[in-house]
Amino acid sequence: MTDTGVTEELLRRFEPLGSLSPARLKEFADLCYVDHCDAGVDPFQGHDIGSQLAFLAKGELRLLFADGSSETVVAGSPAAKASLARRKPVVSGLALTPLEIIRIDRDLLDIMLTWDQLAEFDATRTGRLKVLAQEEAPALPQWKVMSGVFSMSNLRSGAFANLPPAHIAELLNRFARLEVNQGDVIIREGDEGDYYYVIESGRAVVTRLVGGVVVNLADLKSGDAFGEEALVSDAKRNATVTMKLPGVLLRLAKHDFVALLKEPLLNRISHETAAAKVGGGAQWLDVRYPSEFQYDRLPGAINIPLAEIRNAFNVLDKSREYVVYCQSGRRSAAAAFLLAHRGFKVFLLDGGLWAGRKAA
């Protein structure tokens, strides 16, 4: 039982929810909306039927369809397995008894079904994931049960949210699974960028050498990603990541990361389009050093250096659009990826300030 009062067993009665894994059902149980309606009430009044799937959990409901026909649905019957508005276009409803209706976001369910079905296909096609240094290992758990990495929040507004559906199966197939121990250094400051990592299990710490002193920048947990900055900006590693607890990492090679994740996530726009967006309420975000920003910043821009962008996740407004820029587009590409990874509405000024000056 969750805070919503919905159980996984209850959700399993409905289609296509019954095809989801237990981990997915548990996530959905926490995100359902539950309505209680008195007899004589229209449960659809005041709700956007098109954006939700509604399932009858308790009571009897009469549905009136656009073609003038009607149908009475009883909770627990075969007819109640499907979403109420999926049979035909519904004009209205009438509660014949007190009702309990479970509402689910239609787009969210579609995202989950897309990933889970492609993951199931990938597991069938490959048989198992590739395991580094353990190629003869037995079959491993399917991708669809890795709820930490591919959780709803990550697929809804993280790095995987804008991934074209055509890339999903290929992405799952190209990740490698790496078992790590406490104290293992996964990436080292100053090294070349070679891989993108997602933590399946375990914990890690991000550190940087500042004035000869090691400074802790962040703690990472299951579902968190790292290593993307050097790959996006084609620069050397700017921090070291060390495992605090043993676990498992998912690793993606640089060329696969660029092709499958980086480019789909970067919304590149021209200077003309960017200026129009800012004129319409978007915010210029300059990710250069303050010493650069003070001399040639764009009008109205705010300055958050790339090295500080992670600290701004809880400060920036997710309801606002941001246009990110730097001199060449390298640092801003890294910042735009990090922000998009966290669900921000972000656009990348293509070519940076240098390209704009050339055009001018």
Which residues carry out catalysis? 326
Helix (H, G, I), strand (E, B) or coil at 77: coil
Q: State the pairing for strand pair 321-325/283-286.
A: parallel
| Residue matched to tokens 């319409």 | 280
Please provide the DSSP assignment of 7-65 as one string. -HHHHTTSTTGGGS-HHHHHHHHHH-EEEEE-TT--TTTTS-GGGEEEEEEESEEEEEE
DSSP state of 227: S
The tokens of 149 are what? 């990495």
DSSP state of 236: B
Q: Residue 100 forms beta bridges with which residues?
A: 36, 58
C-alpha 54/C-alpha 33 separation (Å) is 9
Contact by Cβ (8 Å): 302, 330: no
CA 189, 191, 196, 200 torsion-angle sign: negative
Longest dimension (CA), the chain: 77
CA 330, 333, 338, 339 torsion-angle sign: positive
Cis peptide, bond prior to residue 264, ω within 30 of zero = no
CA 135 and chain centroid, separation: 30
Please provide the DSSP assignment of 288-341 as one string. S-HHHHHHHPPTT-EE--GGGGGGGTTTS-TTSEEEEE-SSSHHHHHHHHHHHH
Q: Residue 208 forms beta bridges with which residues?
A: 215
C-alpha 201/C-alpha 146 separation (Å) is 9
Contact by Cβ (8 Å): 293, 308: no
